[in-house]
Structure 1
Amino acid sequence: MSSAALAAGAAVAAWHVGPAATWLPGVRAVLSPALDGRGAPGHVALTFDDGPDARSTPLFLRELERLRVRATFFVLGAFVEAHSGLVGRMAAEGHEIAVHGWGHERPWLPRPFADRAGLERAVAAVRAAGGGSPRWYRPPYGILTATRRRAARQLGLRPVLWTTWGRDWTAPADPGSVLGELAHRLTGGATVLLHDSDRTSAPGAWRVTLAALPELVSRCRAQGWTVGTLAEHGLAGESAPEPRAG
């Protein structure tokens, strides 16, 4: 292969993968702070990835109802089709349905047509299930490549990653470790990343997240922060409704 071809290939790879550096919180804060999910200082956005899951998601819905909290669920389109009734229930109970993609692949190669098709299919599945028209997109693994970003823009979706996470997908995690990880960057205005399914996590990891949830909400309320959805979060460039009590 000629040096010119190698250089061209390297340039395409850099264009495609370069935006994925925003996965790192420090890089994101400097290069693309809007992706951090930083919202109104008196509010914390609670978000869950990788559902819906018929085993675990209903338990999260029950606990959220008990806590009087609504959340944003970033769902995988393939499982929306399989559990459409559950998605309809989530929306009916006041939770916000956002898109995490069709599947949960790592996108190291440029896939402009596949990325657009998968994301469009996921949006259609959410609508068909009664989840409304999604506003937000969080790419799997938080890897926002150029083609994923373009696909989201074409479909009118706003990419949002997170301000703080609990590392709740790991095998050693327990409620204390999840709360400890979250505490590093948990402030008013934060977007919290957790998981309501263990499809891409250690088996049973969702149980740890569920156990940590009441204390997380309690700590936020003790600081005077309401807890709710991204729609209520007041992200830059978005007009947010009044947050619910919670």
Structure 2
Amino acid sequence: MWAGVERGRSLAAAVAVAPVLAAAAHVVPAGTWLSGPRQLWLPTLAGVGTTDHVALTFDDGPDPRSTPAFLAALDELAVRATFFVVGEQVLLHRRLVQDIVRRGHELAVHGWTHNRPWRPAPSREARHLAAVAQVVADVSGVFPTWYRPPYGILTGDRLLAARRTGLRPVLWTAWGRDWTPHATAESVAATILADLRGGGTVLLHDTDRHAAPDCWRAALGALPGLVGACRAAGLRVGTLGEHGVARPTHAAGGRTR
């Protein structure tokens, strides 16, 4: 009798603890959003590469209102960058995505939509991430390597989805706060350069779709000064693929064409 009671109590305790454990598995990995601990303990996730190189990355596009201006500026500066694109935008603007690739830039995955992961949804995250990776591969001819979740929130289910899809999560070491309404070219460049070192990964945005209206102009205006400062310090500026961050083995999808 008493054994049965104890088993019942143990089962009840397990049932009570299970939601807590599930929530922890979902939320705890998102702590990597904190830049200081990430760079100290998880340099690969932070995007730390070879010390003579800086990776230039853009999130949230493509956007026909603003992305072409970034492509023109990068051409003028003779710089190639990595664009973390949103799947639903890729479907809407396939020619623009193809132009990004044609100009020598690298495509990476930023999610199917630009959503916040309020609740665990492992099957949905896996399905959406696989879909956007395949769309990028279909449009560009190359299966993507990198994944940066919207808002940099890498939850447990997003981390698992990335592994299943064969994508490498990577965040950043320096950002320009270019999404804010009062950002200027000068403030964006100064904010980045205050944190930037050789081997760093820079986060900017080539659109204002999820930020203050027209704030992309501040990021665009910051590019010449940012690239010039890096070159003056003897640093090359380019894509994550040139950055020396370890690449994953593609578990699903592989490379196309």
What is the TM-score normalised by the length of structure 2? 0.89
For residue 128 of structure 1, report the CA deviation from its aligned partner.
2.0
State the match for 2:155 in structure 1.
145
Structure 1: gaps of 5 or more residues: 239-246
AA of the residue aligned to 1:22: T
Is the counterpart of residue 160 in structure 1 residue 160 in structure 2? Answer: no
Aligned length: 237
List per-residue Cα deviations over 1:33-76 (Å, max 9, x = no partner). 21110001100000000000001001100000000000000000
1:216-231 to structure 2, matched below 5 A, reads: 216-231=226-241
State the match for 2:185 in structure 1.
175
AA of the residue aligned to 2:220: L
State the match for 2:208 in structure 1.
198
AA of the residue aligned to 2:27: V
For residue 29 of structure 1, report the CA deviation from its aligned partner.
2.6
State the match for 1:39 in structure 2.
49
1:1-246 to structure 2, matched below 5 A, reads: 5-130=15-140, 132-236=142-246
The CA distance in 2 between the partners of 1:191 and 1:6, in whole Å, is: 42
The CA distance in 2 between the partners of 1:210 and 1:10, in whole Å, is: 44
For residue 32 of structure 1, report the CA deviation from its aligned partner.
2.2
Instruction: Give identity over the alignment, percent.
Output: 55
For residue 130 of structure 1, report the CA deviation from its aligned partner.
2.1
For 2:104, what is the secondary structure of its paired residue? coil
For 1:192, what is the secondary structure of its paired residue? strand
List per-residue Cα deviations over 1:69-113 (Å, max 9, x = no partner). 000000000000000011111101100000000001111211111
For residue 8 of structure 1, report the CA deviation from its aligned partner.
2.0
Structure 2: gaps of 5 or more residues: 1-11, 249-257
